[in-house]
Structure 1
Amino acid sequence: MKNIALFVFVMAVAFMNAQNVYLSKVEKTKENKDKYFYKIDPAKFEAEYLGEIDVQGYSNDDAAVFASIFKKAKEIGANAFSYKPFESVDEKTQPFNPANYRLGLYYITKDELSKPSDVMYFFSSSSKPQTISINKKDYVLPPRSFTAMQGTLGEIYTVSTKKFLGSTIKISVIENAPAQYFRISSVKVKSNTYGEPGINLKSGDIMGLDKSFGDFLRMIYTENK
Structure 2
Amino acid sequence: MKKVLLVLSFGFSFLMFGQIVTLSKVVQTHTNTDKVLYKINPDSTAGIYLGEVEVQGFSDDDAKVFGLIYKKAKEIGANAFSWQPFLQIDETAAAFDPLHYKLNLYYVKSDQFPEENNRVYFISSPYKKQTIAFDKKEIVFNPRTFTFVQLEPGEIYTISTRKLLGSSIKLSAQENQPMQFFQFSGFSVNANQGAGLNLKSGDIMKLEKSYGQFLTTIYQYFKK
- Give the structure-2-normalised TM-score: 0.89
Q: Which residue of structure 1 aligns with residue 77 of structure 2? A: 77
Deviation at 1:14, TM superposition (A): 5.0
Q: Which residue of structure 1 aligns with residue 134 of structure 2? A: 134
Task: After superposition, give the CA deviation of every residue in 1:107-129 in whole Å (9 maximum; x if it has no partner).
Answer: 00111116242211111011111
Counterpart of 2:109 in structure 1: which amino acid? T
Secondary structure of 1:133 counterpart: strand
Q: Which residue of structure 2 aligns with residue 52 of structure 1? A: 52
Secondary structure of 1:218 counterpart: helix
Q: Which residue of structure 2 aligns with residue 220 of structure 1? A: 218
Root-mean-square deviation (CA), in Å? Answer: 2.1
Secondary structure of 1:105 counterpart: strand
Describe how 1:67-106 pairs up with structure 2 within 5 A: 67-106=67-106
The answer to whether the aligner puts 1:165 opposite 2:161 as a matched pair is: no
Counterpart of 1:189 in structure 2: which amino acid? V
Counterpart of 2:110 in structure 1: which amino acid? K
Counterpart of 1:80 in structure 2: which amino acid? A
Secondary structure of 1:51 counterpart: strand
Where does structure 1 lack aligned partners over 5 or more consecutive residues?
1-7
Counterpart of 1:122 in structure 2: which amino acid? F
Deviation at 1:173, TM superposition (A): 2.0
Secondary structure of 2:106 counterpart: strand
The answer to whether the aligner puts 1:182 opposite 2:182 as a matched pair is: yes
Task: After superposition, give the CA deviation of every residue in 1:43-84 in whole Å (9 maximum; x if it has no partner).
Answer: 101110000000001000111100100010000000000000
Match 2:198 to one of 197, 200, 208? 200
Secondary structure of 1:216 counterpart: helix
Question: In 1, distance between residues paired with 2:11 and 2:71?
Answer: 27
In structure 2, the CA distance between the partners of 1:92 and 1:115, relative to structure 1 (3 Å rule), is closer
| Equivalent residues of 2:63, 2:192 under 8 A apart | no
In structure 2, the CA distance between the partners of 1:197 and 1:17, relative to structure 1 (3 Å rule), is closer
Where does structure 2 lack aligned partners over 5 or more consecutive residues?
1-7
Question: In 1, distance between residues paired with 2:155 and 2:197?
Answer: 25
Question: In 1, distance between residues paired with 2:13 and 2:109?
Answer: 42
Question: In 2, distance between residues paired with 1:57 and 1:18?
Answer: 6
- Give the structure-1-normalised TM-score: 0.89
Counterpart of 1:188 in structure 2: which amino acid? S
Question: In 2, distance between residues paired with 1:224 and 1:125?
Answer: 14
Question: In 2, distance between residues paired with 1:203 and 1:173?
Answer: 23
Q: Which residue of structure 1 aligns with residue 3 of structure 2? A: none
Question: In 1, distance between residues paired with 2:218 and 2:169?
Answer: 26
In structure 2, the CA distance between the partners of 1:18 and 1:190, relative to structure 1 (3 Å rule), is closer
Counterpart of 1:50 in structure 2: which amino acid? L
| Equivalent residues of 1:30, 1:78 under 8 A apart | yes
Describe how 1:33-48 pairs up with structure 2 within 5 A: 33-48=33-48
Secondary structure of 2:188 counterpart: coil
| Equivalent residues of 1:114, 1:178 under 8 A apart | no
| Equivalent residues of 2:123, 2:182 under 8 A apart | yes
Secondary structure of 1:24 counterpart: strand
In structure 2, the CA distance between the partners of 1:176 and 1:116, relative to structure 1 (3 Å rule), is farther
Secondary structure of 1:126 counterpart: coil
Secondary structure of 1:121 counterpart: strand
Secondary structure of 1:199 counterpart: coil
